A and B are shown apart, each in its own frame.
Chain A
């Protein structure tokens, strides 16, 4: 078998490293390696240009306000390349601060700053922070499933006419009002669910890997099921405790 594989671009771990985003990289990489695929992770730091056309999955995480602004400035120079990547169906996961960055505006404490305006969505600063465990119902993977995570944000996101990533069962999601959590556009998922979202939601991880393979090779690549014992136990624990009390 030819050794198929994916290249994962981790944007600015030097700035956006606040909530265990490393977990998402580990999940993507290991689930490739465990199946015998190759996996390359490239961390982009400082001002270096990002070759989006060489990447199969892009991860943009969250950081504190200053770091988020600085990351936005770094991306500003490559806005067009990033936009092309997303429009062509490139797989991307944008979390928390990274999620806000893609919209028209970014919420900062007591003020609103300009975003990259890649999606026509906007975040505004809210009066208080939404902090807590989150469970959403999402059909993004093609199957209607629950996804578990944690949110900690003061921004209120309005996604306009875009499709949400899921519907909130527990927690606040985009703004605590419309029941939406996150956004989906082509192969981009943006959400306030921060940090280690992927390890506990292996079905979501595999969906992203599948989409990236399809994008890269033009045809589906079969992903052998993994045992996922620890994954399922961590997922079940969160769902059972937070939903069923």
Chain B
């Protein structure tokens, strides 16, 4: 078995190297190869993690939550395995481990922070049993790929059944997530925002029916989508007392809030945009606290954290240009809410592709609250991507006039048109396969702008 493991690790490393030479991200095929050579590769590698394995799962915020968590743990001097670029299916997870193993198949790691796709947990857990699993949220996402939320929740329940010892850290504000803590002896922790943060009610309100009795849930207040302080009028299901309780959320240029845990209150003030980042930050802080006991340098780590591709990533191209990935109604609505908070005159680029990994159904664009951008001091809206025509039509019905809308076939033309708008800031929202090429274009433009070209 040791020989097979070694061969698998070698093959995986070689394949990662090779595919990077070819300019690919190299995160899935090498893992597949390793599995073929040694079906136990992930099991044998993950067992070598000295302390704990933490899995982060959920529709939105997985990568950010997992990467901040990994930074918290690394800051305490521990060695951490992390699939930081977001390859989060079975093969990608395997890759993250194999890459860090030495040529004898030995792994020197204290912790593993692994984000796993909702539908893949059931495939990953037979090989790797996490000590703690963080679930960020469950939103409607790419219905042609994942099906309705119920189906995703069922897959997660099946995954959890494989790993009965796994403790859960749950977004207590999300009934779709909180349901995993019901009717179980499993240790569960809840985080949530325990005050009305003054968010507006949006259109994409999902999962409002009680998962246990079918009655429509009632809310004392809503944060966004189905997140809020909920109670079921038909049964005993309601938001649990919060182990990590957020209050006093303020959003101006950055985010600030208070977090209560075990009778202690910590203050957070970060230069992040978007209310949803309160959940990402607190879930990662809570997970780090649960596995390490304390996170002394959290402010420093948060200030130094560099976001991954297209997570409100800022470029300087004669003006601030902010790129954000959004790929489902909840993600888009949060991005739009964040854009609208910026009162400066702005130009906007929206790019949507419909490749298989994006979801080939673009119906959800009609569930996004683009209307909200109308009052947001928007100068120009540029649309691009494979479904630029659908976006153009969607924005027309949202109330934008023809003079404001520009359609560009290529992302490069679109980026130029958006950056050259009269606004003093530019926001770009793009879905999965559009965000990576757009980031390359922006890096290039930033480089040229720095050289005065």
Could you tell me the distance between the alpha carbons of A14 and B201 in the complex, rounded to whole angstroms? 13
Cα distance A238–B366 in the bound complex, in angstroms: 16
Question: Are B389's CB and A20's CB within 8 A?
Answer: no
B208 within 8 A of A: yes
Q: Which of A65-73, A174-182, A183-191, A217-225 contacts B (4 or more CB under 8 A)?
A: A65-73
Contact call B389/A70, Cβ cutoff below 8 A: no
Instruction: State which of B144, B149, B365 has its C-beta within 8 Å of the C-beta of A152.
Output: B144
Do A64 and B389 form a contact, CB below 8 Å, given A17-B367, A132-B360, A199-B397? no
Whether A18 contacts B140 in the complex (CB less than 8 A), given A65-B150, A132-B360, A150-B363, comes out as: yes
| Residues of the B chain whose Cβ atoms lie less than 8 Å from the Cβ of A233 | 389, 392-393, 407
Chain A residue with Cβ nearest B143? A152
Query: B306 CB to closest chain A CB, in angstroms?
Result: 35
- The interface stretch among A22-30, A52-60, A158-166 is A22-30
Distance in angstroms between the alpha carbons of A196 and B393 in the assembled complex: 11
Cross-chain contact B150 with A66 (CB below 8 angstroms): yes
- What residues on B are CB-neighbors of A21 within 8 Å? 366
| Complex-state Cα separation, A35 to B85, whole angstroms | 51
- Determine if B209 is an interface residue (Cβ-Cβ < 8 Å): yes
Interface size of A in residues (CB-CB distance below 8 Å): 37
Residue interface bits B392-404, CB-to-A below 8 A is 1, else 0? 1110110000100
Residues of A within 8 A of B149 (CB): 64
A43 vs chain B, min Cβ distance (A): 11
Q: Which of chain A's residues have a CB closer than 8 A to the CB of B362?
A: 150
Is A131 positioned at the interface, with any CB of B under 8 Å from its CB? yes
Instruction: Give the residues from 26 to 84 in chain A that come closer than 8 angstroms, CB to CB, to chain B.
Output: 26-27, 30, 46, 64-67, 70
B364 at the A interface (CB under 8 A): yes
Cα distance, A133 to B367, chains bound together (Å)? 18
B209 and A70 contacting across the interface, CB-CB below 8 Å:
yes
Given A20-B366, A22-B203, A195-B366, residue A237 in contact with residue B150 (CB < 8 A):
no
B447 on interface, CB distance cutoff 8 Å: no
Residues of A within 8 A of B392 (CB): 230, 233-234
Asked if B18 lies at the interface with its beta carbon under 8 angstroms from chain A, I say no
With contacts A65-B150, A66-B214, A233-B392 taken as known, whether A14 is within 8 angstroms of B144 at the C-beta atoms is no
Q: Contact between B364 and A20 (Cβ–Cβ < 8 Å)?
A: yes
Q: Is the C-beta of A194 less than 8 angstroms from some C-beta in chain B?
A: yes
Q: Are B363 and A20 interface neighbours, CB within 8 A?
A: yes
Kindly provide the distance from the CB of A72 to the nearest chain B CB, expressed in whole angstroms.
13
Chain B residues with CB under 8 A of A200: 390, 393
List the B side residues contacting A18 at CB < 8 Å.
Answer: 140, 143, 148
B389:A234 contact, CB within 8 angstroms? yes
What 1/0 mask marks residues of chain B from 359 to 389 whose CB sits below 8 Å from any chain A CB?
0111111110000000000000000000001
Check if B361 sits within 8 Å of A26, measured CB to CB.
no
Partner of B397 from A27, A132, A150 at Cβ < 8 Å:
A27
Q: Are the C-beta atoms of B361 and A152 separated by less than 8 Å?
A: yes
Q: How far is the CA of A37 from the CA of B152 in the complex (A)?
A: 44
A33 to nearest B CB, angstroms? 11
Q: Which of B144, B150, B216, B397 contacts A23 (CB 8 A)?
A: B397
**CB neighbours of A196 from chain B (8 A):** 363, 365-366
Name the residue of chain B whose CB is nearest to the CB of A22. B366
Q: A30-B397, A150-B361 are in contact. Are A19 and B143 (CB under 8 A)?
A: yes
Residue of A nearest to B148 (CB): A64
Give Cα A107–Cα B361 distance, bound, in whole angstroms: 22
CB contacts (< 8 Å) of A132 on chain B: these are 144, 360
A195 and B397 within 8 A (CB): no
Contact A22:B361 (CB < 8 A) given known A64-B148, A131-B144, A230-B396: no
With A17-B367, A18-B140, A196-B363 already in contact, the answer to whether A231 and B393 are too (CB < 8 A) is yes
Note all chain A residues with C-beta closer than 8 A to B360: 131-133
A238 and B390 alpha carbons, distance in the complex (Å): 9
Q: Given the complex, which residues of A lie within 8 Å of B143, measured CB to CB?
A: 18-19, 152
Q: Do residues B389 and A14 form an inter-chain contact, with CB atoms below 8 A?
A: no
Inter-chain contacts of B364 with A (CB < 8 A): 19-20
Bound CA span A14–B217, Å? 11
Q: Would you give the shortest CB distance from A234 to chain B, in whole angstroms?
A: 4
| Chain A interface residues toward B at CB < 8 A | 14-15, 17-23, 26-27, 30, 46, 64-67, 70, 129, 131-133, 150, 152, 194-196, 199-200, 229-231, 233-234, 236-238
* Interchain residue pairs A-B with the least CB separation, the first 6: A20-B366, A23-B366, A195-B363, A20-B363, A64-B148, A234-B389
Show 25 A/B contacts (Cβ-Cβ < 8 Å), sorted by A.
A14-B208, A15-B209, A18-B148, A20-B364, A20-B367, A21-B366, A22-B367, A23-B363, A23-B366, A26-B366, A26-B397, A64-B148, A65-B148, A133-B360, A150-B363, A194-B363, A195-B363, A196-B365, A199-B393, A199-B397, A234-B390, A234-B392, A234-B393, A237-B390, A238-B389
Contacts A231-B393, A237-B389 known; 8 new A-B pairs at CB < 8 A: A19-B363, A20-B364, A23-B366, A66-B209, A132-B360, A152-B144, A199-B393, A234-B392
